[in-house]
């Protein structure tokens, strides 16, 4: 009798995530960035001055994980933290010049990753996949 473990959509999603993570690790290794750190930089490239809480919410990560990643990025010289003038407990995060220099790298990696993952899919299939994965995510959040 065969195992039904691999019939589980969650296992498939997990294995796809592992493959994407391995690909990103290879692409980001020259810059000493982890895939999740790359996401923080990408967010800041869209709009600097986000609070750590905002970054955590956008990435669906807990605040302590975001804090560790931000400390690491700050140590590498890619970002700087500035106390929020309106709330002393809050910290806003900004790119440094070194972080801004990675804009082209981040954009290139994001484009290459998107093209790799969308290869062989029509726009309609990509849209449908996003819709279905959104439903699966919503279901998982109810657990």
| pLDDT greater at residue 28 or residue 3 | 28
Model confidence at 88, in pLDDT bands (50, 70, 90)? confident
Within 8 A by CB and 6+ apart from 27, the residues are 109, 112, 113
In angstroms, rounded to a whole number, what is the distance separating the alpha carbons of residues 84 and 89?
A: 8
> Is it true that domain 12-141 has CATH number 1.10.287.70?
no
For residue 130, count CB atoms less than 10 angstroms from its CB and return exposed for 0-12, middle for 13-18, buried for 19 or more: exposed
Model confidence at 4, in pLDDT bands (50, 70, 90)? confident
* 28-57: average pLDDT: 94
| pLDDT greater at residue 143 or residue 103 | 103
In angstroms, rounded to a whole number, what is the distance separating the alpha carbons of residues 50 and 39?
A: 13
């Amino acid at each position: 009798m065969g195992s039904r473990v691999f019939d589980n959509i969650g296992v498939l999603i997990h294995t796809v995530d592992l493959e994407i993570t391995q690909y990103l690790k290879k692409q980001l290794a020259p810059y000493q960035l982890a895939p999740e750190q790359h996401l923080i930089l990408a967010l800041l490239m869209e709009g600097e001055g986000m609070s750590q809480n905002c970054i955590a919410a956008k990435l669906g990560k807990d605040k302590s994980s975001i804090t560790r990643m931000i400390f690491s990025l700050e140590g590498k010289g890619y970002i700087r933290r500035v106390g929020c003038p309106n709330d002393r407990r809050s910290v806003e995060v900004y790119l440094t010049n070194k972080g801004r220099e990675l804009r082209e790298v981040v954009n290139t990696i994001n484009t290459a990753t998107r093209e790799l993952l969308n290869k062989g899919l029509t726009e309609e299939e990509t849209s449908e996949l996003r819709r279905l994965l959104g439903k699966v995510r919503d279901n998982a959040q109810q657990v």
